[in-house]
Amino acid sequence: MLNCNMMNVPFKYLGMKVSGNHQRVYFWDNVVAKIQQRLDRWKGKFLSMAGSDWGKDGKKVAWVTWEKVCNSKEKGGLDIKDIRRFNDALLGKWIWRLQSAEGGMWKEIIKSKYDDLRVLRGAESNSKESIWWKDLKKVWASEEWGSNFEDNIDWRLGDGN
């Protein structure tokens, strides 16, 4: 009638099956197989050395723990800062400031957003909390400090020297 050829269903268009149920796992088998094949070729070209413990000259690479890398040069390390600990220290400094500083605009803003600074001690998170606040709470309750950050704060009255 329209002078068109009848095609069988399913057929492929641009490598994908046309017709069929795309919500079924088996529908995607050919796509997954094709991607897997391409990844295998790519891994063979670019990751052959990364997956092994051998260096370019054929000698075995000696892997070292991050803890040893962060050691001082005198202790055989590279004297690289452990970023996680450094970040915890900076967050601890913010906690210290929040607990000890006199007023100030920044502290008033924090208090107004989170109602009270005592919520730092709370373990429950709120969807309105910023990532920074959640990180402060993690540091507060970190096991590295003992039971919590507050247990490691020591108040002493001095003469200013």
Give per-residue pLDDT as tens, 17-44.
777 777 778 878 888 888 888 888 877 6
* pLDDT value of residue 74: 93
pLDDT tops 80 at residue 105: yes
Question: What's the angle, vertex CA 99, arms to CA 94 and CA 103, rounded to 5?
Answer: 95
112 belongs to a structural domain: yes
Q: Is 49's pLDDT higher than 70?
A: no
- DSSP class of 123: -
**Does 3 map to a domain?**
no
- Integer Cα distance of 139 and 145 in angstroms: 8
pLDDT of residue 53: 59
Helices 83-100 & 105-114, crossing angle to 10 degrees?
Answer: 100
Number of domains in the chain: 1
**pLDDT-wise least confident of 110-114, 137-141, 146-150:** 146-150
How would you class 136 by CB atoms within 10 Å of its CB: exposed for 0-12, middle for 13-18, buried for 19 or more?
buried
Q: What is the average pLDDT value for the chain, to the nearest integer?
A: 77
Please give the average per-residue pLDDT across 106-119, as a whole number: 77
Q: Domain range holding 144?
A: 83-152
Domain membership flag for residue 54: no
Q: Does residue 122 fall inside a structural domain?
A: yes
Residue 78 lies in a domain: no
Both tokens of residue 53? 């413990």
pLDDT band at residue 147 under the 50/70/90 scheme: low
User: Is 38 inside a domain boundary?
Assistant: no
Q: How far is CA 106 from each of CA 94, 95, 127, rounded to the nearest angstrom?
A: 11, 13, 21
Residue 63 lies in a domain: no
Q: Specify whether the CB–CB gap between 120 and 95 falls below 8 A.
A: yes
Residue 22 lies in a domain: no
Report the alpha-carbon angle 91-148-128, nearest 5.
Answer: 55
